[in-house]
Amino acid sequence: MKLLMVFDFDHTVVDDNSDTWVIRSLPGQKLPDSVKSTYRKGCWTEFMGRVMNYIGEQNVSLDRVRGVMETIPFTAGMKDLLKFISAHDNTDCVVISDSNTIFIDWILNASGLRAAVDQVFTNPATVNESGYMEVQHHHSHDCERCPVNLCKRKVLELYLSDQLKRGVEYQQIFYVGDGGNDLCPTSCLRGCDVVMPRKGYTLEKLLTRQGRQQEDVSLRAKVVAWSTGTEILEELKKSLQS
């Protein structure tokens, strides 16, 4: 029996949005209105494809982009938390994010923390023949609550199913996130599990609202809000000692 830590990435592991942080690689550090105006609600991945295309058209090298991405700050206490997880064989760790594979790998590798994460589930990114970065949907799904490119509940359920086939069963799951797209996966957590929303962010507000309205019959997990990785680490240590 093991523990599983599930992390969102933007505004959770790192203390900003990796997709908007990349704009700092541009000479003027901002997008023109001609690009910003192309965003459509629910189609962020397609929008990021146009952003990366524009960055490439401005002759910004991938080395420059990588250098900028490697400066994104980690959330306070998160590095220590990931180092602790990495040192404990009975704790698995996955990231489920609406960022992309290249950004997350760059950031984790630069910090020396890539080995702390067993698997990353996010939108696949590649470099095309022109040297520009392209981003694709992680998968397709039929969940009406989630963005068209990613349902984190589906990802988590498939991961747990695959692990069970390998003989790995989790005694407890910690789900750590901040955003609206982190609400859906909380519905597949059990009473022994813990959902940890970041204080002051969308996920905490949604969970609080549902608790007041007593509509969330699907949420069985314990809710523990956090501000720093240190607080998450304290909760994890309590479970490991119990």
CB 52, CB 21: distance < 8 Å: no
Cα gap 77→230, rounded to integer Å: 5
CA distances from 161 to 2, 9, 156, 203, 224 (A): 15, 22, 9, 25, 25
CA distances from 233 to 7, 46, 129, 177, 196 (A): 13, 36, 43, 14, 11
Annotated active-site residue 162? The verdict is no
237 φ/ψ angles, rounded to the nearest 5 degrees: -65, -40
Length of the chain: 242
Cα gap 172→169, rounded to integer Å: 9
Annotated active-site residue 8? The verdict is yes
Residue of 10, 19, 92, 98 marked active site: 10
Residue of 8, 19, 182, 193 marked active site: 8
- State the catalytic residues: 8, 10
